[in-house]
Structure 1
Amino acid sequence: MFLLSCGSPHNPQLIIDKAINVSGGGLLDSSNINFNFRDKHYIAKRNKGDFFYGRSFVNASDSILDVLTNRGFERFVNDDFKPIPDSMAVKYSSSVNSVHYFSVLPYGLNDAAVNKEYLSKVVIKNNPYHKIKITFNEEGGGEDFEDVFVYWVHTETFMVDYLAYSYAEDDGVGLRFREAYNERYIKGIRFVDYINYKPIDGNASLLSLDSLYESKELKELSRINLEQVKVE
């Protein structure tokens, strides 16, 4: 990775708009999507601002269904509603929302709580990218509103090929870098899987992760694969 420009007048809003558009963003406004991720099944129903995010799995002998909508979170066990403490509802809501959020990126980056900052133009693996920083307002930003993201948007295709983020840990801040692969379009909507990395150097910074990726100073942690994706 090397820097092409600094202090560029590029408009991050226009870049994100194009990235969402080429990934089929408009089709997501009214859509039903099903997929499997690890040992759980996910369903997302979106209809012009209204949403239903579901997650189902089996725990021991119980069938669990977690539902997150505009109205809040609910859990069902063996088809019966099960009240849970608010603290657990917040935790479960965050985990359900996170999977659905990542599954359709960059869709969602125009939410009202999102702030965009153009950082620079860089080159990764001989391809030029817009490097854009994303932060969130506390109001509407969710439980993890303090997380900071960076997106690398290809300057010609406007595809998001890389992203990184920082998140709070008990002993400080954690960093992750994701490389998109296995791109496929299903009924006009782009889906990708990710190779998930962390920096070898515990003192690395979020904004340096693209350089560390180029110099092979990141360690692969996992593969984030969406399986059996269906769009209705």
Structure 2
Amino acid sequence: MKYLIAAVFSLLLLNCKNDKSQKDTKPLTATDIVNKAIDVAGGDKFKKSVITFNFRDHQYEAERYDGLYNFSRLKLSDSVFILDVLNNKGFERFINEKPVAVSDSMATVYTSSVNSVHYFSVLPYGLNDKAVKKSQIEQEIIKDKIYYKIKVTFSENGGGEDYEDVFVYWIDNKSYKVDYLAYSYNEVDGRGMRFREAYNERYIEGLRFVDYNNYKASPAENSLAELGKLFEANKLELLSKIELKQVSVSLIQRQ
């Protein structure tokens, strides 16, 4: 009898190990992959931070604290200070520290412009927002590295003015860093398409920042998911560089 009990116990133990092994090898979902990418980039540290940087001819600042946010953009033009502020309450513009009236149509334009720069500056943070819809598409090899490809779309409710934009992220299957991304967007005469290659990686206070080589592609001739192959084949046109300068980070410690 004791041998039978031992055999049964061994069989149960083996089944438990097999179950655990199957769980450990379960394919990652798009959400799993994005979560790992966000963790590698700094994770929850973004939630309580003040980030400042210069981009082109503007100074930007983003304060985030447990769901509250205050994004700003400052420009000095001919001795005139123009400050745009976007937060949970909405959009405001100040000229020489005085609030000015802005039409609804222009407020929408300014909101999109300010939000876009802050959005790109901290990617992939933000890809778990409620309006984001993620799916995994076929993996791809670029420069001898294997990448997960995550397609991102947005719900109309909560997706902002640019909710029809579509993104694809190439995430290294070992480091879980976002090395490439592509997106399509609405233009006056149709759809535009861009592919970005990350470079100049640096960590500041544990948060990952990169700059991008920004490439142009024709939506009429290519699909968004194919841009990685075109980049590998040197068939994309370098349009510009996206560089964040003088980046600084302060982590908010208050309780």
TM-score, normalised to structure 2, is 0.86
Q: Is the 8 A contact 1:186 1:231 kept in 2?
A: yes
Q: Is the 8 A contact 1:200 1:217 kept in 2?
A: no
Aligned match of 1:27: 45
Q: Superposed, which structure 2 residues align to 1:75-114 within 5 Å?
A: 75-114=93-132
| Distance in 1 between residues matched to 2:66 and 2:247, nearest whole Å | 21
Query: Which of the two has higher C-alpha Rg?
Result: 2
Q: Superposed, which structure 2 residues align to 1:31-180 within 5 Å?
A: 31-180=49-198
Letter in 1 for 2:28: H
Displacement of 1:25 in angstroms is: 2.1
Displacement of 1:10 in angstroms is: 3.5
| Distance in 2 between residues matched to 1:201 and 1:134, nearest whole Å | 17
Aligned match of 1:18: 36
More helix by share: 2
Q: Superposed, which structure 2 residues align to 1:2-17 within 5 Å?
A: 9-17=27-35
| Distance in 2 between residues matched to 1:199 and 1:144, nearest whole Å | 19
Letter in 2 for 1:151: Y
Aligned match of 1:221: 239
- Residue segments in structure 2 that go unaligned for 5+ positions in a row: 1-25, 251-255
Q: Is the 8 A contact 2:202 2:208 kept in 1?
A: yes
Once the two structures are superposed, residues 145-183 of structure 1 have per-residue CA deviations (whole angstroms, 9 ceiling, x without a partner) of 000000000000000000000011122111100000000
Displacement of 1:200 in angstroms is: 6.1
Letter in 2 for 1:135: T
More strand by share: 1
Aligned match of 1:4: none
Q: Is the 8 A contact 1:200 1:219 kept in 2?
A: no
Aligned residues: percent identity? 56
Q: Which has the higher contact order (CA 8 A, sep 6+)?
A: 1
Displacement of 1:202 in angstroms is: 4.7
Once the two structures are superposed, residues 97-117 of structure 1 have per-residue CA deviations (whole angstroms, 9 ceiling, x without a partner) of 000000000000000000001
Between 35-44 and 196-205, the greater mean CA deviation after superposition: 196-205
Displacement of 1:60 in angstroms is: 2.7
Displacement of 1:199 in angstroms is: 2.1
| Distance in 2 between residues matched to 1:49 and 1:70, nearest whole Å | 9
Do the aligned partners of residues 167 and 136 (structure 1) sit closer, same or farther apart at CA in structure 2, a change above 3 Å counting? same
Displacement of 1:65 in angstroms is: 0.6
Q: Is the 8 A contact 1:164 1:176 kept in 2?
A: yes
Displacement of 1:9 in angstroms is: 4.9
Displacement of 1:58 in angstroms is: 1.5
Q: Is the 8 A contact 1:199 1:212 kept in 2?
A: no
* Partner SS state of residue 112, structure 1: coil
| Distance in 2 between residues matched to 1:203 and 1:64, nearest whole Å | 40
Letter in 2 for 1:195: N
Letter in 2 for 1:229: V
Moved over 3 A (4+): none
TM-score, normalised to structure 1, is 0.95
Do the aligned partners of residues 60 and 202 (structure 1) sit closer, same or farther apart at CA in structure 2, a change above 3 Å counting? farther
